[in-house]
């Protein structure tokens, strides 16, 4: 495997943000999977399968390489590799999360790496995925540029992220759950109230579906599209590097 490096430099504020996020996820790594499935009623598993569907042709190619960025405890990496012929590599900058990933899927290569400065050469991967990680980056625009850098021309980026519910009545109910109930349950089970207060806060600051699609285009991706999942609780955005 060829390793290069990113030329993107982070500001002091961005470095501080990354450090805080890394420490936060380190503290909840042991309960992360349990809470993901519990708080989403297992819907998150279905969402990850939709990501796999988006790049199924790449996964069927034994010569292809797929990078799963901000892989956390490895759920998406494992889903991508199940039945796939392509090589799948997971990266995350939080070592305790990767330790859990290795326990679950020791046969997969996991690399400790910051999504803002990936240690790979330009145009290295046939597809890149990132699930519930883009909003945690200190600079979404720079993060997209870094993901663009490592995708081959003609390669595909797939982003799965929390989004803005699009059904009016449902939106109110979900926001009540997301901002009131979820932090309480997450804090109680994980022991970190801050982590599950951060979750709805980070989602509220993240670009909506249309704006994120526009950012894809501004970064250089073509054939950009998005699909709402479960009434817009989450969305999948895709783009092809020209």
pLDDT over threshold 80, residue 76:
yes
Domain that holds residue 85: 12-30+39-164+207-241
Distance CA 118, CA 72 (A): 15
Distance CA 229, CA 236 (A): 7
pLDDT band at 6 (very low <50, low <70, confident <90, very high): low
Q: Which of 188, 187, 186, 162 has its CA nearest to residue 175?
A: 162
pLDDT band at 23 (very low <50, low <70, confident <90, very high): very high
Q: Is residue 188 domain-resident?
A: no
- How many structural domains comprise the chain? 1
What is the side-by-side strand order in the sheet with 65-69?
A: 110-112, 87-92, 65-69, 125-131, 151-162, 234-241, 221-229
Q: Is residue 52 domain-resident?
A: yes
What is the per-residue pLDDT across 110-147, written as a single tens digit (0 to 9) for each? 999 999 999 999 999 999 999 999 999 999 999 999 99
Q: Is residue 227 domain-resident?
A: yes
Question: Are the C-beta atoms of residues 241 and 220 closer than 8 Å to each other?
Answer: yes
Q: Is residue 152 domain-resident?
A: yes
Question: Are the C-beta atoms of residues 134 and 140 closer than 8 Å to each other?
Answer: yes
- What pLDDT score does 139 carry? 97
What is the per-residue pLDDT across 26-60, written as a single tens digit (0 to 9) for each? 999 999 898 888 888 899 999 999 999 999 999 99
Angstrom distances, CA of residue 216 to CA of 29, 60, 143, 157, 222: 30, 26, 11, 9, 8
Q: Which of 92, 100, 101 has its CA nearest to residue 129?
A: 92
Q: Is residue 224 domain-resident?
A: yes
Angstrom distances, CA of residue 212 to CA of 58, 79, 198: 24, 25, 20
- What pLDDT score does 8 carry? 64
Q: Is residue 102 domain-resident?
A: yes
Q: Is residue 85 domain-resident?
A: yes
Distance CA 192, CA 185 (A): 10
Where residue 58 sits, what CATH number does that domain have? 3.40.50.150
- Could you give the percent of the chain with pLDDT greater than 90? 78
The single-letter DSSP state of residue 221 is E
Q: Is residue 105 domain-resident?
A: yes
pTM of the entire predicted model:
0.92
């Amino acid at each position: 495997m060829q390793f290069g490096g990113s030329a993107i430099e982070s500001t002091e504020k961005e470095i501080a943000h990354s450090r805080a996020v890394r420490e936060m996820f380190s503290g909840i790594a042991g309960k992360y999977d349990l809470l993901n499935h519990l708080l989403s009623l297992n819907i998150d598993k279905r969402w990850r399968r939709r990501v796999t569907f988006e790049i199924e042709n790449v996964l069927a190619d034994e010569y292809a390489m797929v990078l799963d960025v901000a892989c956390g405890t490895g759920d998406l990496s494992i889903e991508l590799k199940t039945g796939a012929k392509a090589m799948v590599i997971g990266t995350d900058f939080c070592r305790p999360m990767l330790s859990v990933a290795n326990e679950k899927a020791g046969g997969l290569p996991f690399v400790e790496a910051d999504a803002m400065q990936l240690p790979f050469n330009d145009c290295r991967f046939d597809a890149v995925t990132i699930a519930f990680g883009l909003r945690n980056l200190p600079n979404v625009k720079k993060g997209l540029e870094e993901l663009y850098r490592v995708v081959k021309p003609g390669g595909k980026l797939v982003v799965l992220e929390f989004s803005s519910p699009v059904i009016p009545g449902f939106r109110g109910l979900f926001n009540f759950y997301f901002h009131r109930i979820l932090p309480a349950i997450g804090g109680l089970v994980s022991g970190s109230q801050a982590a599950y207060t951060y979750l709805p806060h980070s989602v509220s600051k993240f670009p909506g579906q249309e704006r994120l699609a526009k950012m894809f285009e501004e970064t250089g991706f073509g054939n950009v599209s998005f699909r709402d999942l479960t009434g817009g609780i989450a969305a999948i955005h895709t783009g092809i590097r020209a």
